[in-house]
Structure 1
């Protein structure tokens, strides 16, 4: 049994270990002095938000499964209990690193730049007066102080709500009664950082909870405040319901959203200088183990530092803005549909404006020749022009929308969209029971001026969200290819009627054909290599976790296939193992934009193929969601994807990190000293501004085996030692 486990550990990294490693790479961006200062603050805030989601979903799920008696092991051979213990240790270390970043790096640099987060003692009289007026005008009317006693039980603290805990003693019976606990919830409706006036040219702020804490005495008259501190509780945010037993999925999700706010506590964050009695009372109340209590030496809710980024008008301390390239039509008619009858259009967001996609939907809504529109919606923006276009189109056309109600943390807004669209006459469906609808498809049917009825489609890798499209990298394909659009019709039939087709090609669709289709493409490269034909795989995605795909990649590597996988986040594949994966490179790029596009290149003996789509190589994408991966058939677009976009990522020496067999992710520039700096994301901006072309991409560093291995970091060495000891 031990031998089997050792073998498994040599093949796979643990999912959660890999995710924590990803968040550490985001933290390194906050620590990187070459990034603009306020961008570093933003990266730190993102690490806190990421960790919140990890705790309330992944950690909460593991705790629930342990409580329910599950005893399964992960692909790396570890049990749930072992995984949870290692995760807790890593998270405590990570929180300490976050604190060091804020206290020792960012705060001093911000003050030097004239951006100050002040305590009460640091404020001058003008600032104190303004802060007091803000408190009295904006905060005090929203506050509800609570004292915990037999008549007033502990309040239901909302998930991730910032609170103040106070240790109180009655002034009337000061000597005969034990201290009681007071709790104040900091209003979410107010900014966490309150701007202050300044006469010295600085941008000054005070934390809202500091301001409330300062004035807590006025809410607890008759009590002596012995101690006070900020705290925050994270709760289990998984939705638990059986879709098969739900008569109305929309109402079930709505009800469970209300229950989510009451989920079991899984983490307590509290100031490390808090009175021990307060910490212990909170821990007992929330029924937490000591390992679930996180003592911080920094603001309890670091994710709110995003307010500092947005509220500080210092463009010199932020990334330089750029203007995305607008969609330009080649034909004189300026008719998008006429253009699509002659060529496919590829958009690379955010460098190519998302207005091209919005314009496609809006043109369909307004065009009297368009008779029907079908679209999937997973996430969209609060004031979405796509939503508006679809509701307007429903007045004159057949409009069908498949809304994913269980898109995590967007359930409430999606319920609202679904109801409003139904009221407007849109046919709204919620996809297949038990499967999330994650594919990004829009399909319209049009009677063209020549009398022919044609279909036009948009297929993408990202959500129909004009807001996130400005900082997510994604791919959009606009096409009238009859083979592709016909299969899109089949996909929509599956989503609305569970009607399965015998053939979805040239598309690959999860959960029916995608996993086997991708594995077959990998096996084909293996066969090419064994036969002495050209073989190469380049795959870009968010996460790589599916064991069957990883094993296929291992087989391809052993056959001599050169493989590059560009994975932003989770990666369970262990590269660089002799006799197994020495022909595989894993690169992670964390930079200004969130890498979200999925692109898959196969050399295929010289007959190159490129696919894009909504799916990562993860079990949930391949087997538990409705996903679509589509071929790029236009030769020019295929060339652009391979020799401009993928080549630029492979040539990156600024933001690229290379996964080591130890699990570390050193910068490529540290592995190969002397490399000229080249940033793929900066290059794409220059391309959008017509200042660069593919000819400006430097060659990548060479074959996989030419890259030296870095010695493991202390943390990775410790994990390996612990794994061996277990």
Structure 2
């Protein structure tokens, strides 16, 4: 296998940074999930959107437990704790586990406080109720009995635990009901456990016939629990409770033992079902004997048992969002702006020969990207298509276009089989694509293919053969494109498209020794070049030239990159970081990071775009791409950062997009040196939400960027002061008064 190159970074003197000046990634992630929970707690958000945010926190926490906590437990069990040096936060593995267990328990308590004290009362006020079996009226009872008899009971499998019936295999995150049973035979005092698995094929929230203007629902597990006596005839049901077990879901593969990546991933997906238990969730009303028997069966320590003050598995509340047809309790419908060809252009390729196209999703419609691939599939002038796929959807037009194109063109797809939790569907796509005649590759073993690239080769009407490319920050998934913010660049720039071709050759043949300029490609060149870009700003600052960095990403954890920014800050480089999730950098520390500001924006759309802007002595450069500044992105994945060379598009990135996020004082939180995130102070400014502003801009409700709005506000304020001074001079002292401020309200 070819040795992977790494561009050496320029040597810039810098001090060694102690570990205490880095935040731990796991605590930082939990603080991110806390910011999502704050959106559920925020009464200014539509009510059902708040329910959705709460469900998202639960889904996020599931993944954190089955991946991060599971990995930590496994490393401790394998004996790594004593041998391993303290992590980025200065903690050993056991110290980190102790900290996380306390933080997790506190977070779960906050989730259920939000549900019980804020959301449930608010739902009741809007006439949305969750009823128990005993609360149903005659009409609802008849409906519930019919639903149970016809849809639920036939697929239930009650199990009594005894010597001939061992404890059933409980699947990862499957909702179950545990019962403490005693046989009704005279003189029998022994108790035993019973278990019923709640079917995954049925909706977790069951709609009931509405009465008196209410929308009524029942949790599926409560419906089943009300009928357990019918399933365990001959037993006395002494107690029951819903519970759920979360298991280790890490994938482990041995390269030398696997025949192919596809076969290896399929085998590990099967093994994943057998992962060790990591967490037990159970209702607080459960009998202590039930809790202890389950804990012992799953071999869990007491801290791994989470007792819930409400329904187990809050992520199923997402079903309520779908089932409740209440438009007034959801965000207003937003329609993305559709791209329009210039009057002189006949098609997208004609347009791209004139200039690059940049799209900011979901504010700009994703249909343009779909159309780029779909039109290529049916265009006889397109002779070759190459594309990477990381996550896609079941009805993706991309998938259909690629299979159709394979009938008449050379089509190559690099599909990432190990996209977490999408492995099974990606295996299906890979097989279907191969059956259609597509050349399917799985990238380089041991490296996830995370870059988002599409490359077309076309014989144009002028007789020339050209390459056309799409480079993006998000997946080729039209579903997530509606609520993830991402950047797309469509270009026919010969330098960029040639570099994209080199990346595909690296992915399919691991052909090294190529030039990837002007792209930054991981794991080959990106890590060193990113640090070089930061060091360049450091040198500009030391020389008195204009310097500055504005970077937007999902996470910042790479220690070398953080240390380079600490050095840049000490040289006086102003650095603004917009980081949605984890951040190990500690901003605002005197003598170390005084010029660094970190903010996180959590709102209606999931912030997913990665944008990196460098002042470069006044010759600004800006990049977008698929990579966060994390070790896994820089060293363990195939990633691409691409420059935006068109000056108008680069200006839009800096002023319209980054400028909006830096102005946000509604959905932004500012990271403090102690690791706590606080809301920005308004300081007399009107409330401003970047996402609301960008939606208004896309809807053509407004036409100005935040910088212009701010300038106009300042001019207006100055004008008001002049007028006020003139009036004040004309009035008697008794008539003096403060004028009302007439600053324009930014669209938000």
Alignment TM class, shorter chain as reference: over 0.9
Q: 1:14 aligns with which of 12, 21, 24?
A: 24
Q: Do 2:553 and 2:608's aligned partners in 1 also have CA atoms closer than 8 Å?
A: yes
Q: How does 1:402-551 map to 2 (within 5 A)?
A: 402-551=414-563
What RMSD in Å do the two structures reach over aligned CA positions?
1.2
Q: Do 1:643 and 1:694's aligned partners in 2 also have CA atoms closer than 8 Å?
A: no
The structural deviation recorded for 1:696 is 4.5
Q: Do 1:602 and 1:609's aligned partners in 2 also have CA atoms closer than 8 Å?
A: yes
Question: How many residue pairs are counted as aligned between the two chains?
Answer: 692
User: Which deviates more from structure 2 when the two are superposed, residues 112-121 or residues 534-543?
Assistant: 112-121
Deviations 1:237-264 (A, max 9, x none): 0011113431121111111111111210
Q: Secondary structure of 1:274's match?
A: coil
Alignment partner, residue 54 of structure 1: 64
Alignment partners' CA distance in 1, 2:580 and 2:541: 27
Alignment partner, residue 650 of structure 1: 662
Q: Do 2:660 and 2:705's aligned partners in 1 also have CA atoms closer than 8 Å?
A: no
Alignment partner, residue 598 of structure 2: 586
Please say if 1:634 is aligned against 2:646: yes
Q: Which structure: larger Rg?
A: 2
The structural deviation recorded for 1:693 is 2.8
Q: Could you say if the C-alpha distance between residues 159 and 196 of structure 1 is closer, same or farther in structure 2, counting changes exceeding 3 Å?
A: same
Alignment partners' CA distance in 1, 2:353 and 2:649: 16
Deviations 1:332-365 (A, max 9, x none): 3331101001100001000101101000000110
Q: Do 1:165 and 1:228's aligned partners in 2 also have CA atoms closer than 8 Å?
A: yes
User: Which deviates more from structure 2 when the two are superposed, residues 616-625 or residues 110-119?
Assistant: 110-119
Alignment partners' CA distance in 1, 2:51 and 2:526: 40
Deviating runs (4+, > 6 A) in structure 1? none
Deviations 1:443-497 (A, max 9, x none): 0100111111100000000000000000000000000000000011100000000
The structural deviation recorded for 1:517 is 0.7
Q: Do 2:655 and 2:705's aligned partners in 1 also have CA atoms closer than 8 Å?
A: no
Alignment partners' CA distance in 2, 1:403 and 1:70: 34
Please say if 1:392 is aligned against 2:413: no
Alignment partner, residue 691 of structure 2: 681
Alignment partners' CA distance in 2, 1:472 and 1:333: 30
Alignment partners' CA distance in 1, 2:453 and 2:67: 28
Alignment partner, residue 188 of structure 2: 176
Q: Do 1:331 and 1:339's aligned partners in 2 also have CA atoms closer than 8 Å?
A: no
Deviations 1:530-578 (A, max 9, x none): 0000001000000000000000000110000100000000000000100
Please say if 1:135 is aligned against 2:145: no
Q: Do 2:252 and 2:268's aligned partners in 1 also have CA atoms closer than 8 Å?
A: yes
The structural deviation recorded for 1:327 is 1.3
Q: 1:227 aligns with which of 236, 239, 244?
A: 239
Alignment partner, residue 717 of structure 1: none
Alignment partner, residue 576 of structure 2: 564
The structural deviation recorded for 1:367 is 0.3
Q: How does 1:64-463 map to 2 (within 5 A)?
A: 64-71=74-81, 72=84, 73-173=86-186, 175-463=187-475
Please say if 1:599 is aligned against 2:615: no
Q: Do 1:14 and 1:76's aligned partners in 2 also have CA atoms closer than 8 Å?
A: yes
Alignment partners' CA distance in 2, 1:695 and 1:515: 33
The structural deviation recorded for 1:131 is 1.0
Alignment partners' CA distance in 1, 2:205 and 2:486: 33
Alignment partner, residue 720 of structure 1: none
The structural deviation recorded for 1:122 is 2.1
User: Which deviates more from structure 2 when the two are superposed, residues 374-383 or residues 249-258?
Assistant: 249-258
Alignment partners' CA distance in 1, 2:264 and 2:17: 44
Alignment partners' CA distance in 1, 2:20 and 2:545: 30
Q: Do 1:10 and 1:574's aligned partners in 2 also have CA atoms closer than 8 Å?
A: no
The structural deviation recorded for 1:587 is 0.4
Q: How does 1:692-711 map to 2 (within 5 A)?
A: 692-697=702-707, 698-699=709-710
Q: Do 1:525 and 1:561's aligned partners in 2 also have CA atoms closer than 8 Å?
A: yes
Please say if 1:574 is aligned against 2:576: no
Alignment partners' CA distance in 2, 1:388 and 1:454: 24
The structural deviation recorded for 1:673 is 4.4
Q: Secondary structure of 1:681's match?
A: helix
Q: Could you say if the C-alpha distance between residues 357 and 7 of structure 1 is closer, same or farther in structure 2, counting changes exceeding 3 Å?
A: closer
Q: 2:635 aligns with which of 604, 608, 623?
A: 623
Q: Do 1:8 and 1:76's aligned partners in 2 also have CA atoms closer than 8 Å?
A: no
Alignment partners' CA distance in 1, 2:150 and 2:202: 12
Alignment partners' CA distance in 2, 1:421 and 1:244: 26
Q: Do 2:362 and 2:482's aligned partners in 1 also have CA atoms closer than 8 Å?
A: yes
Q: Do 2:547 and 2:615's aligned partners in 1 also have CA atoms closer than 8 Å?
A: yes
The structural deviation recorded for 1:699 is 4.3
Q: Do 1:8 and 1:75's aligned partners in 2 also have CA atoms closer than 8 Å?
A: no
Alignment partner, residue 40 of structure 1: 50
**Is there any run of 5+ residues in structure 1 with no aligned partner, and where?**
1-5, 701-726
Q: Could you say if the C-alpha distance between residues 191 and 555 of structure 1 is closer, same or farther in structure 2, counting changes exceeding 3 Å?
A: same
Q: Do 2:655 and 2:706's aligned partners in 1 also have CA atoms closer than 8 Å?
A: no
Alignment partners' CA distance in 2, 1:94 and 1:351: 33
Q: Do 2:660 and 2:706's aligned partners in 1 also have CA atoms closer than 8 Å?
A: no
Q: Secondary structure of 1:77's match?
A: coil
Alignment partners' CA distance in 1, 2:24 and 2:561: 16
Alignment partners' CA distance in 1, 2:175 and 2:351: 53
Alignment partners' CA distance in 2, 1:522 and 1:81: 35
The structural deviation recorded for 1:172 is 1.7
Q: Do 2:20 and 2:90's aligned partners in 1 also have CA atoms closer than 8 Å?
A: no
Q: Secondary structure of 2:80's match?
A: coil
Deviations 1:2-23 (A, max 9, x none): xxxx973431000000000000
Q: Secondary structure of 2:18's match?
A: helix
TM-score by structure 2 length? 0.91
Q: Could you say if the C-alpha distance between residues 244 and 440 of structure 1 is closer, same or farther in structure 2, counting changes exceeding 3 Å?
A: farther
Alignment partners' CA distance in 1, 2:256 and 2:487: 35
Deviations 1:315-337 (A, max 9, x none): 10000111101111114333110
Alignment partners' CA distance in 2, 1:564 and 1:474: 19
Deviations 1:482-533 (A, max 9, x none): 0000011100000000001342110000000001111100000000000000
Deviations 1:395-436 (A, max 9, x none): 000000000000000000000000000000000000001100
Q: Do 2:576 and 2:598's aligned partners in 1 also have CA atoms closer than 8 Å?
A: yes
Q: Secondary structure of 1:668's match?
A: coil
Q: Do 1:26 and 1:43's aligned partners in 2 also have CA atoms closer than 8 Å?
A: yes
The structural deviation recorded for 1:177 is 4.1
Alignment partner, residue 3 of structure 1: none
**Is there any run of 5+ residues in structure 2 with no aligned partner, and where?**
1-15, 712-748
Q: Could you say if the C-alpha distance between residues 327 and 139 of structure 1 is closer, same or farther in structure 2, counting changes exceeding 3 Å?
A: same
